[in-house]
């Protein structure tokens, strides 16, 4: 990067202040709905459906399959046009079709409270005609089934979702891409739709608890939601009143905000007239307390849970009756539960070696699938000395924020709409680059980063995965009682996305207001530069992208983060910080080149301690950060053949190439795409896009079962199926890199390097890489921060490229093809042809 002279900074800062970032704020209207495109009625779920028409369920045709075409999200509704009497229907929701054949759909999702239904099966007792609606949203699915569980008949005139995400289709987005390759056009839409589905507007994900001034908190079909005030409590006794409204009552203790806890499910007597016909009494036996460790009482793929024991309650547990529960954790690792004066169990954890968690962490309340319960009068005291730690009768609305169940207070991007539904800091990197070329929702990108900044610890770190439903600003430190969050490299990926957001939007007013917080975060990172090695040493057990101490991926990503931050500093006129960050980046880069380059293998080693192995992330970040010279770029891209596996590249050489469970990550392979194009390996980049992303598109019947119009979280290296079975998020913008890559490297439209390119004030059109992957024509459009769209259209015909560029007059740019450079300024339309080598 070129260091610019002082006078230049002032000018750029001024221009920055004049330009306003492009904001496309569509307000979600209450009338916005998603409707099925197909319905099939039979005795089992069916993948073939016909055009949607009103339908009837009865004993012979008891199952309706609804196909929504692509990923959808919202509050389910059902318009009942007639019914023979009260009937029960079981509704399932799933991203892949096969979820409809499983007892829990593609769920449950109990890792955190989801700010929506924790379950993918929902049962209704339908008693009247008219609209039946669920109060809990379903975050992401293409498929739905409805099964009549009882005798009788029921007819529906309509079903659908009240939308909780923007209803816009990729074709209608302000950012566009198109080319003469139809497969690439469809792949571009995957990330665009995933970012549309994963980014939610303020207040659209409504409160999941109801709070009654007399009866307290009401929860249904929700994993226990936890108090943020109790994250540092240990060896405590929790007492509360609960009243089962239907089925049972559920609570957890010694719980982290997300992850494995001691969890207890009280199932009531399940009276005949209130028991749904699909109730699984093996899983929830009447008059029992099930004790679990994990997030649930069933397993979901990689999310393991253990049912430790099931204890009989020695009396019938009535619905609609208040019981006082006491849960006691003792320093000697006994856990006991009493109902009123009856002790139901008191067990030592030595009996359950699988329950490894310490007796520390928060507590919370919820209700199992199709169950519902009230909670009141919580009292927590130290088990040994009896001193009160917490008192709350749970009758005031402020419990919503305390327990993370309030409507989202910011417009933010989640990792995925179906799960984890958390604002994962590091996962945002690709999303931050997809937004500007597709949805242009600058407000959602800014909201995400601001939400993360609100979670900042005094030492500068941001929460790596905050839940939607808490008030982070006043409680940040409560989420990290140990002083850190895990995955420390996510701080670096978050810093990179801050730069990428400003790069495309010129959002300098906001960047200025957030600058002290970013500087603090950068200072945290600078303190991680190891004085003896000159490389980054993070603390913690592991990093997501590579080795924690002296790793190439982490250190190169840090160079990229620091140089990006220096560009923003330049844009803000903070020359001192710009110099400081650039200087640190340069010496880090020198250290990486001196210590981590393995000349024999021709690649950056995995880490100081392991110079032989290589990784996708190390290779990618060492190139995209500019650490690698062109010689080293070319050589490390050649060394990538060691990682080639199935449809892409496995993350590390240490992973087996013959283990059929190894997954290919569209997230990390997405980092590689930029590196391949930068390293003149366009053809390989084009092949990777096709081989790894085509399996996500519809086509064969097998593919139609898993294609939902969005990019996936993981792809299995052998089967090309979703890599984590039903658990896989099929709508993960972290897997959507081709969306911005196609715009930037195939159509060739991107902001100029450095702060002069912010918001596309200066731009580049460089389509040679698109021609290199075999295209004859392409077009792309983005929204600039300078009052209009910037678009390019090019076509190759008999040795000539015809180019049409439209740009706001306040911007200028260059067309680059090989050594041909055409400067373009002061017009709004540029039309020309150039000779290109065949």
Ligand X SMILES: *[C@@H]1O[C@H](CO)[C@@H](O)[C@H](O)[C@H]1NC(C)=O
| Minimum distance of ligand X from residue 530's CB (angstroms) | 4
Residue 391 binds ligand X (CB under 6 A): yes
Residue 305 binds ligand X (CB under 6 A): yes
| Minimum distance of ligand X from residue 196's CB (angstroms) | 34
CB nearer ligand X, residue 506 or residue 633: 633
Interface region with ligand X, contact rule CB under 6 A, candidates 158-166, 526-534, 741-749, 751-759? 526-534
Q: Is 219 helix (H, G, I), strand (E, B) or coil?
A: strand
* Dist CA 838 CA 370 (whole Å): 65
CB nearer ligand X, residue 634 or residue 724: 634
| Minimum distance of ligand X from residue 731's CB (angstroms) | 26
CB nearer ligand X, residue 341 or residue 482: 341
Residue 636 binds ligand X (CB under 6 A): no
Interface mask (CB under 6 A) for ligand X, residues 101-140, using x and -? --x---------------------x-x-------------
Report yes or no: 194 and 710 within 8 Å, Cβ to Cβ: yes
Residue 185 binds ligand X (CB under 6 A): no
Q: Containing H/E element for 635?
A: helix 630-639
* Dist CA 455 CA 467 (whole Å): 11
Q: Using the CB atoms, write b or e for 578-609: b if 16+ within 10 Å.
A: bebbbebbbebbebbeebbbbeebbbbbbbbe
Biggest CA–CA distance in the chain, Å, is 89
Residue 77 binds ligand X (CB under 6 A): no
- What is residue 511's DSSP assignment? H
Interface region with ligand X, contact rule CB under 6 A, candidates 29-37, 389-397, 453-461, 788-796? 389-397
CB nearer ligand X, residue 160 or residue 679: 679
Report yes or no: 753 and 186 within 8 Å, Cβ to Cβ: no
Length of the chain: 838
Report yes or no: 545 and 668 within 8 Å, Cβ to Cβ: yes
Interface mask (CB under 6 A) for ligand X, residues 646-675, using x and -? ------------------------------
| Minimum distance of ligand X from residue 123's CB (angstroms) | 8
| Minimum distance of ligand X from residue 392's CB (angstroms) | 7
| Minimum distance of ligand X from residue 538's CB (angstroms) | 8
| Minimum distance of ligand X from residue 622's CB (angstroms) | 12
* Dist CA 781 CA 767 (whole Å): 14
| Minimum distance of ligand X from residue 567's CB (angstroms) | 21
Selected from 17, 37, 47, 634, the binder of ligand X by CB under 6 A is: 634
- 157, with CB counted inside 10 A (0-12, 13-18, 19+), is middle
Q: Is 525 helix (H, G, I), strand (E, B) or coil?
A: helix
* Dist CA 425 CA 129 (whole Å): 45
Selected from 250, 276, 621, 712, the binder of ligand X by CB under 6 A is: 276
Residue 369 binds ligand X (CB under 6 A): no
| Minimum distance of ligand X from residue 275's CB (angstroms) | 6
Q: Is 429 helix (H, G, I), strand (E, B) or coil?
A: helix
Residue 527 binds ligand X (CB under 6 A): yes
| Phi, psi angles (nearest 5°) of residue 362 | -80, -175
CB nearer ligand X, residue 531 or residue 700: 531
Other Cβ atoms within 10 Å of 91 Cβ, number:
22
Sign of CA dihedral 395, 397, 401, 404: positive
* Dist CA 93 CA 18 (whole Å): 48
Residue 307 binds ligand X (CB under 6 A): yes
Other Cβ atoms within 10 Å of 349 Cβ, number:
20
Residue 551 binds ligand X (CB under 6 A): no
Looking at residues 600 to 619 of the shown chain, list those that interact with ligand X (rule: CB under 6 A). 608
Looking at residues 320 to 359 of the shown chain, list those that interact with ligand X (rule: CB under 6 A). 328, 330, 332, 334, 336, 346
Selected from 680, 691, 704, 779, the binder of ligand X by CB under 6 A is: 680
CB nearer ligand X, residue 696 or residue 741: 741
Residue 725 binds ligand X (CB under 6 A): no
Other Cβ atoms within 10 Å of 472 Cβ, number:
25
Selected from 14, 304, 594, 702, the binder of ligand X by CB under 6 A is: 304
| Minimum distance of ligand X from residue 703's CB (angstroms) | 28
* Dist CA 291 CA 309 (whole Å): 5
Q: Using the CB atoms, write b or e for 200-213: b if 16+ within 10 Å.
A: bbbebbbbbbbbee
Residue keyed to tokens 């539960």: 337
Residue 772 binds ligand X (CB under 6 A): no
CB nearer ligand X, residue 18 or residue 354: 354
Interface region with ligand X, contact rule CB under 6 A, candidates 178-186, 303-311, 400-408, 573-581? 303-311
Nearest by Cα to 684 from 675, 696, 697, 671: 675
| Residue 490, both tokens | 């996510």
Sign of CA dihedral 514, 227, 306, 270: negative
Looking at residues 52 to 71 of the shown chain, list those that interact with ligand X (rule: CB under 6 A). none
- Residues in contact with ligand X, counted by CB under 6 A, come to a total of 47
| Minimum distance of ligand X from residue 387's CB (angstroms) | 4
Interface mask (CB under 6 A) for ligand X, residues 214-243, using x and -? ------------------------------
* Dist CA 11 CA 598 (whole Å): 43
Distances (CA, A) of 291 to 284, 298, 341: 11, 12, 19
Selected from 16, 550, 748, 767, the binder of ligand X by CB under 6 A is: 550
CB nearer ligand X, residue 293 or residue 758: 293
Residue 86 binds ligand X (CB under 6 A): yes
* Dist CA 453 CA 450 (whole Å): 5
Nearest by Cα to 76 from 156, 196, 177: 156
* Dist CA 45 CA 35 (whole Å): 18
Residue keyed to tokens 């808490």: 470
Nearest by Cα to 192 from 671, 670, 739: 739
CB nearer ligand X, residue 293 or residue 428: 293
| Minimum distance of ligand X from residue 394's CB (angstroms) | 9
Residues lying near ligand X in the complex (CB under 6 A): 86, 103, 125, 127, 150-151, 273-276, 280, 282-283, 297-299, 304-307, 328, 330, 332, 334, 336, 346, 382, 385, 387, 391, 393, 395, 527, 530-533, 537, 549-550, 608, 630-631, 633-634, 679-680
């Amino acid at each position: 990067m070129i260091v610019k002279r002082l006078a230049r900074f002032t000018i750029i800062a001024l221009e920055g202040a004049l330009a306003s970032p492009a904001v496309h704020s569509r307000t979600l209207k209450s009338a916005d709905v998603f409707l099925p495109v197909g319905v099939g009625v039979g005795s089992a779920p069916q993948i073939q459906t016909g055009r949607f028409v009103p339908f009837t369920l009865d004993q012979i045709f008891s199952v309706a399959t609804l196909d929504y075409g692509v990923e959808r999200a919202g509050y389910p509704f059902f318009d009942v046009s007639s019914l023979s009497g009260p009937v029960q229907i079981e509704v399932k929701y799933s991203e892949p079709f096969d979820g409809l054949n499983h007892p829990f759909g593609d769920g449950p999702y109990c890792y955190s409270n989801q700010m929506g239904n924790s379950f993918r099966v929902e049962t209704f007792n339908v008693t009247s005609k008219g609209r039946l609606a669920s109060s809990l949203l379903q975050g992401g699915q293409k498929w739905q089934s409805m099964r009549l569980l009882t005798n009788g008949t029921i007819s529906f005139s309509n079903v659908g979702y009240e939308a909780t995400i923007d209803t816009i289709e990729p074709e209608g987005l302000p950012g566009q891409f198109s080319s003469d390759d139809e497969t690439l056009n469809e792949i571009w839409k995957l990330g665009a739709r995933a970012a549309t589905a994963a980014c939610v507007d303020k207040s659209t994900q409504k409160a999941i608890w109801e709070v009654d001034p007399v009866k307290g908190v009401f929860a249904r079909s929700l994993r226990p939601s936890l108090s943020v005030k109790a994250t540092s409590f240990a060896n405590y006794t929790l007492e509360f009143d609960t009243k089962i409204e239907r089925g049972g009552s559920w609570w957890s203790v010694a719980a982290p905000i997300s992850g494995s806890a001691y969890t207890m499910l009280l199932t009531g007597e399940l009276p005949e007239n209130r028991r749904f016909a699909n109730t699984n009494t093996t899983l929830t036996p009447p008059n029992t307390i099930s004790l679990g460790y994990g997030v649930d009482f069933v397993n979901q793929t990689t999310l393991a849970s253990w049912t430790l024991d099931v204890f009989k309650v020695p009396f019938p547990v009535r619905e609609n009756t208040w019981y006082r529960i006491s849960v006691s954790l003792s320093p000697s690792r006994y856990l006991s539960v009493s109902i009123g004066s009856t002790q139901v169990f008191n067990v030592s954890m030595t009996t359950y070696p699988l329950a490894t968690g310490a007796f520390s962490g928060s507590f919370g309340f919820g209700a199992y699938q199709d169950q519902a319960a009230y909670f009141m009068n919580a009292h927590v005291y130290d088990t040994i000395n009896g001193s009160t730690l917490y008192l709350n009768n749970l009758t005031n609305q402020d419990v919503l924020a305390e327990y993370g169940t309030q409507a989202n207070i910011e417009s933010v991007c989640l990792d995925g709409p179906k799960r984890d539904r958390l604002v994962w800091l590091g996962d945002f990197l690709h999303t931050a680059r997809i937004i500007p070329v597709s949805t242009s929702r600058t407000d959602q990108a800014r909201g995400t980063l601001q939400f993360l900044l609100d979670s900042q610890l005094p030492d500068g770190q941001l929460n790596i995965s905050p839940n939607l439903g808490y008030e982070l600003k006043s409680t940040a430190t409560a989420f990290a009682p140990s002083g850190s969050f895990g995955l420390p490299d996510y701080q670096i990926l978050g810093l990179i996305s801050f730069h990428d957001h400003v790069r495309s939007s010129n959002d300098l007013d906001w960047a200025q207001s957030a600058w002290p917080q970013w500087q603090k975060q950068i200072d945290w990172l600078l303190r991680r530069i190891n004085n003896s090695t000159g490389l980054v040493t993070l603390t913690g057990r592991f990093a997501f992208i590579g080795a924690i101490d002296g790793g190439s991926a982490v250190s190169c990503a840090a160079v990229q983060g620091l140089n990006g931050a220096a560009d923003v500093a330049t844009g803000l006129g903070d020359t001192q910080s710009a110099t400081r960050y650039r200087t640190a980046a340069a010496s880090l880069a020198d250290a990486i080149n001196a210590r981590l380059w393995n000349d024999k293998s021709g690649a950056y080693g995995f880490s100081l301690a392991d110079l032989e192995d290589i990784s996708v992330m190390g290779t990618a970040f060492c190139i995209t950060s500019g650490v690698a010279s062109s010689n080293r770029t070319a050589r490390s891209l050649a060394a990538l053949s060691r990682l080639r596996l199935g449809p892409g590249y496995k993350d590390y050489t240490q992973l087996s190439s013959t283990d059929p469970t190894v997954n290919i990550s569209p997230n990390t392979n997405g980092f590689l795409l930029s590196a391949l194009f930068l390293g003149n390996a366009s053809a390989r980049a084009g092949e990777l896009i096709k081989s790894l992303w085509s399996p996500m598109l519809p086509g064969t019947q097998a593919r139609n079962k898993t294609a939902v119009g969005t990019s996936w979280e993981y792809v299995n290296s052998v089967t090309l199926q979703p890599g984590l079975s039903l658990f896989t998020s099929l709508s993960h913008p972290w897997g959507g890199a081709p969306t911005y890559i196609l715009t930037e490297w195939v159509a060739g439209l991107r902001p100029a390097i450095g702060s002069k390119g912010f918001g596309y004030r200066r731009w580049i059109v460089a389509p040679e890489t698109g021609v290199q992957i075999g295209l004859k024509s392409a077009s792309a459009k983005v929204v600039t921060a300078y009052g209009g769209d910037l678009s390019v259209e090019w076509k190759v015909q008999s040795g000539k490229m015809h180019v049409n560029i439209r740009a706001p007059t306040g911007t200028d740019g260059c067309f680059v093809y090989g050594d041909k450079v055409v400067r373009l300024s002061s017009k709004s339309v540029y039309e020309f042809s150039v000779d290109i080598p065949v």
